[in-house]
Amino acid sequence: MVFKSIERIKQAIPDILHIAMFYNNGTIFETTFSQDLNIPKLGENFAEILKRFRKVYNLLNFDYNKYEKVIFETEDISIFIIKLGEESNIALFFKKEEPQDINLKPIRKYLDRIQELIDMDKEEL
Per the structure, the complete domain to which residue 74 belongs is given by 2-124
Mean pLDDT value across residues 16-20: 93
Neighbours of 101 (CB within 10 A): 5
Q: Tell me the whole-structure pTM to 2 decimals.
A: 0.76
- CATH code, domain carrying 58: 3.30.450.30
Total tally of structural domains belonging to the chain: 1
Mean pLDDT value across residues 88-103: 77
- Do the beta carbons of residue 22 and residue 2 sit within 8 Å? no
% of the chain surpassing 70 pLDDT? 78
Query: In whole angstroms, what is the distance from residue 43 CA to residue 21 CA?
Result: 9
Q: Please report which confidence band the pLDDT of residue 50 belongs to, taking 50, 70 and 90 as the band edges.
A: very high
- Do the beta carbons of residue 80 and residue 91 sit within 8 Å? yes
